Structure 1
Amino acid sequence: MKILVCGDVEGHFKQLFSRVQSILSKNKDFELLLCVGSFFSSDCQEEWSKYREGVETGQRGVYSASSGLRVAYLSGSYQGRTYQHQDKGDNLLRPYFTDSDVSWLEGQCSGEGYRGVDILLTSDWPGAVDKFTVAPDGLDLSAVGAKPLSKLAMCLKPRYHFAALHQTFYERIPYSNTSTTFDANCIVLHFMQES
């Protein structure tokens, strides 16, 4: 399966779809377009309404493609002061995620026999993403990342985790979210920051 991943769109939908069309015109087919990072901008509502027409928007979800590919996503950044915000069940996009968003996702991806999702998309980085590896030049990883996203990645067990927001490309070495003992069902996680 071929997947195209892009970073911050920031409301430039016409530019995004133009680039996608250019790729498709070169006979470079792909089955899924994933966007991470800042998708909307403060002045994009008019342009966005042209594309969504009747499509309900949401903060989080798990998408299962007909091919069996499972993609979990969580929109918004981590803001400590709003993390405990109570979800009122509205479908409005917020610029931050809450503990109820994280709990909801964890609940969707649990149970006996759960083996993980294929891809996790988040705007923010998980906390301690540089544990047991080297941080990219010029980026203080102690100042970025969200602990709730580290917990979410451990729970969802994604094979790939794409994030954005820090204007740099970073691909950490693969790692496993299991104990140090051998596990035949171990899933290796690849974290990539798209710029």
Structure 2
Amino acid sequence: MRIATRTALAFAALTVLAACDRTQTPPVVAEPATPAAAPAEAAPTPAQSAGGLAIEGEGLRLFDATGAARAIPFGTPQATAIAAVAASVGGAAPQVTTNEECGAGPIQFAEFSNGLQLLFQNETFQGWFIGEAGLTTADGMGVGSTRASVESSRTIEMVADTTLDGEFSSGDIGGFLTAATPQGTVSALYAGLTCFFR
């Protein structure tokens, strides 16, 4: 009987002590998630930030002052392409000349004051060539760029079976380097129809 009484008293004492313990475990509060950093945007080219023309493998791209773009693709009617480029470059539309001896047949040429030459066949825009610094691709490749700077954003492959010194390709754009080394600079670029004699 005494053992049962002692056990009951011990149990009662533990129950009273437990009831008096007011210690509470603080609730776990979830930390707010750190917002993910926004992906870095590429710096706009001069054509994108100030409005102007950019060269690309499928033709040209015309940017307005807000950065909105309009494509001038190969296949655009000759008069439309000349008018769009003339409005962007400023000044009168250039004279159109013809070379009858190109490998692809007679080709018409229109050369603008910034050194950009447009090539036409059957009254449609079919190619471009530039040998002066100024215009670039949307990722910054232009005449005067070093091979090393171009290869930071795109691939350059030297053309093996050509008689033209320093010829390379980069996607749909071709060009020429002063040297095949990383320090070699782009001396000219082209895309689409050409009139080179290899």
Category of TM-score, reference length = shorter chain: under 0.3
TM-score, length of structure 1 as denominator length: 0.24
Structure number, greater radius of gyration:
2
Indicate the structure whose relative CO is greater, using CA pairs within 8 Å and at least 6 residues apart: 1
- TM-score, length-scaled by structure 2: 0.24
